[in-house]
Amino acid sequence: MDLEKRSQTPSAKASGRLRASDADRDRAADILSEALASGRLDPEEHGERIDGVYNAKTVAELEPFVADLPAPGGGPSIDEAAARPGPGEVPETADEKVYAVFGDAVRKGRWHVGRRTHVYAVFGDVEIDLSEAVFEHRKIMIKGFAVFGSVKIRVPENISLHGRGTGVFGSVEVDTLVAEDKDAPAVYVEGFAVFGDLKARAKRGKLIHDLRGYLRKKLQG
């Protein structure tokens, strides 16, 4: 099942202030219409969600109405397509791979994050903590595989976080964040879990304190 969840922390809510356009609301309404036609929603719930969509002021307010539904044609939801790295933005091969096989693996502290990281937890647990990491790239892809294991990904509260995945007798949960600054780093997570779980969310109270410095370097570079 594909899952994309909005984070419930107060600062995460504060970061999702991007104003929704009429096109954003129309895309959400299209998702609801297809869900009604396919039987995923009954008419009463469809009506309630449509009212909420057209009263939404921000993208963050739109997401809860469609987060548990596939987009028309099976495509990505609302702002996920824009968030996912496009061709050439991240390498096809991983800059770094992290393995936990019948054990644990942790990546945390002040480490330099590559553009693509692959994580494998097989009868083990992996923690990827980006809350104190050094971001040298704006778009970052993390692919996680959990087989009878778990993958936990934690990010600062003032970056963007998006993702999706598939769980087979397991779960993939990504708590969406939309950074207030459109040039802030963006992490996209793709997950696959079999009798395991992958969870990606903000780490409460952790921020990129020199975000302005990061953005300045990106503009100068």
| Res 216 pLDDT > 60 | no
Please tell me the pTM assigned to this model.
Answer: 0.64
Burial of 153: CB neighbours in 10 Å, binned 0-12, 13-18, 19+: buried
The verdict on residue 4 lying in a domain is no
Are 70 and 114 in a shared domain?
no
Are 63 and 160 in a shared domain?
no
**Residue at a domain's end among 78, 101, 126:** 78
Are 91 and 188 in a shared domain?
yes
Q: Going by C-beta distance under 8 Å and a sequence separation of 6 or more, which residues neighbour residue 108?
A: 127, 128, 129, 131, 132
The verdict on residue 45 lying in a domain is yes
Are 131 and 157 in a shared domain?
yes
Are 203 and 120 in a shared domain?
yes
What residue numbers bound the domain in which 96 lies?
85-220
Are 66 and 91 in a shared domain?
no
Are 112 and 59 in a shared domain?
no
* Interval 112-146: pLDDT, tens: 999 999 999 999 999 999 999 999 888 999 999 99
pLDDT value of residue 18: 78
Are 206 and 99 in a shared domain?
yes
**Residue at a domain's end among 29, 49, 78:** 78
Are 157 and 213 in a shared domain?
yes
Among 27-31, 36-40, 48-52, 193-197, the range scoring the smallest mean pLDDT is 36-40
Per the listing, tokens 């991983």 go with 94
pLDDT value of residue 64: 87
* Interval 176-209: pLDDT, tens: 888 888 788 999 999 999 999 999 999 988 887 6
Q: Going by C-beta distance under 8 Å and a sequence separation of 6 or more, which residues neighbour residue 117?
A: 94, 95, 96, 97, 98, 128, 140, 141, 142, 143
